[in-house]
Amino acid sequence: MKRRITTPLHLLLAATALVAPGTAFAQSTPREAELEARLAKLEAEMQSLRADLASARSDQAATAAVAQEAAAKSDAAATKVAALQPQAVQAAPADGFRSGATTIKIGGFIKLTATNSRFSEGEVATNSLGRDFYLPQSIPVGSGPAARVQDFSAKQSRLWLNLSTDVAGHAVKGYVATDFQTSPGTQGSQRTTNGYNLALRRAYIQVDKFTFGQDWSTFQYVGALPESTDFVGATEGTVFVRQPLVRYSAPIGGGLTLHASIENAESGTATLGAPALAENGDDSIPDFAARIAYAGKLGELSLAGLAREVRVANAGVSAKNFGWGVSAAGKIYLAADKGSDIRFMATYGSNAGRYIGLNFAPDSVFDPATGTLADVREFAALAAVRLAVAPQLRVNLMGSYQNVDYAGSIPLATLSGFNDKAWSAAANIFWSPVKSIDLGIEYRHGEREIVSGAKGQLDRFEFAAKYSF
């Protein structure tokens, strides 16, 4: 084993080694100094970024507050504009046009009728309603000479307005329909301008389930009226009244709808020995009518009832009578497209002549000797069939009847000129070559008989051309 030799040089080196480490840490190398400088720079940049971030967050919060305030002001301004101009935010209607908040639709038709009539017992006066359309009570009776007359007219042309709007969450509808048929002309005669006055047919408003205004009587079922070139058609068996009323309508389930109304009270009475009707204007309570209507896949049905008071005030004598009526009517579809159907109506009533057959019978008969009103009862019925034989061609067949029964207390001698019964039958064919245009030709035979047994007949050919819009 060799022994280690220690010399003064070895001792010096050892001492240097002990001291060198402290000296090395105290004096950094250039590289270390460079790293330290970079770290200091990064720390400064980090502090700057933190300051910028804090400032940005502060600016963002301020901007959001300003934007929120601006949005609130914009919404408030938009609300004010919408309140000032509500029509500007409503969409245009798909049909019709808008005036303010009301949607308006215009419609109607232009119609020409040309008739050739033969009366077996004498001529009907020019410009009589019996010349314009089938009115059985206008057929002359007796033994006069037969007369043939021809008439052209466009007075059945019609114009209507349909209105709808929303008021405080309620649907409000309005309807106005006019024609020229029953209003006498004042702007010339058939010799010159053939002018006729505009006449009101229907005018009403509907608010929810209520109807206010002039409309078809609730006692009437319009759907049973047959398609005809004539203004009415099967007049004898038809309930046909338009008048002012207040009506409530409500669905009751199962396709059923209930209608109940109070309606204008007016009476057309006759006096013993004088069959001409007189409008009294003496009624003191409204007429009451109710109807239950059903609509389903197979057809439509209606059952209606009527209650009224007939009142006459004559020369200080006041008389009144109770009137009533029931009517059943309907439409039965013969095809799935509803183009063919059967229509019917049957009505029975007492002192209700104004509602049946355009007052063919008086409401009641006044006896001036006793100051009382005698009952008058009526039975009326109609039936019609409509056959769509081709897409543009259809045929209608119809028959109508009414019979009047006067109280047994009335002496027959005083009733000799009063209407007793009437009936008619008609057939027509309609062709629609293009949409909205109907061309029809119709033949009708009607008969009227009065209590004395005297009769009269009518044979009429009628052509009609109608454009609906």
Answer whether residue 191 shows pLDDT above 90.
no
Give the residue-averaged pLDDT of 437-443. Answer: 98
Give the residue-averaged pLDDT of 257-263. Answer: 98
Q: How far apart are CA 231 and CA 466, in angstroms?
A: 12
Check if the beta carbon of residue 438 is closer than 8 Å to that of residue 432.
yes
Tell me which residue of 202, 229, 196, 190 sits closest to 111, measured CA to CA: 229
Answer whether residue 74 shows pLDDT above 80.
no
Check if the beta carbon of residue 355 is closer than 8 Å to that of residue 329.
no
Handedness of CA 234, 113, 430, 297 (dihedral sign): negative
- Summary mean pLDDT of the chain: 88
pLDDT band of residue 13 (cuts 50, 70, 90) is very low
Identify the pLDDT of residue 50. Answer: 76
Longest Cα pair distance anywhere in the chain, in angstroms?
Answer: 180
Tell me which residue of 369, 365, 373 sits closest to 404, measured CA to CA: 365
Answer whether residue 66 shows pLDDT above 80.
no
Cα-Cα end-to-end distance for the chain: 137
Could you tell me whether strands 199-207 and 210-216 are parallel, antiparallel, or unpaired per DSSP bridges? antiparallel
Identify the pLDDT of residue 45. Answer: 75
Q: How far apart are CA 258 and CA 248, in angstroms?
A: 8
Q: Is 63 exposed, middle or buried (0-12, 13-18, 19+ CB in 10 A)?
A: exposed
Give the residue-averaged pLDDT of 37-49. Answer: 77
Percent of the chain predicted with pLDDT > 70: 85
Q: How far apart are CA 454 and CA 275, in angstroms?
A: 14
pLDDT band of residue 85 (cuts 50, 70, 90) is low
Strand ranges, E, within 196-298: 199-207, 210-216, 242-253, 256-263, 268-271, 274-279, 287-295
Check if the beta carbon of residue 276 is closer than 8 Å to that of residue 320.
no
Highest mean pLDDT among 131-135, 142-146, 165-169: 131-135
Identify the pLDDT of residue 334. Answer: 97
pLDDT band of residue 36 (cuts 50, 70, 90) is confident
Q: What is the pTM of this model?
A: 0.78
Check if the beta carbon of residue 446 is closer than 8 Å to that of residue 458.
yes
φ, ψ at 427 (rounded to 5°): -140, 140
Percent of the chain predicted with pLDDT > 90: 68
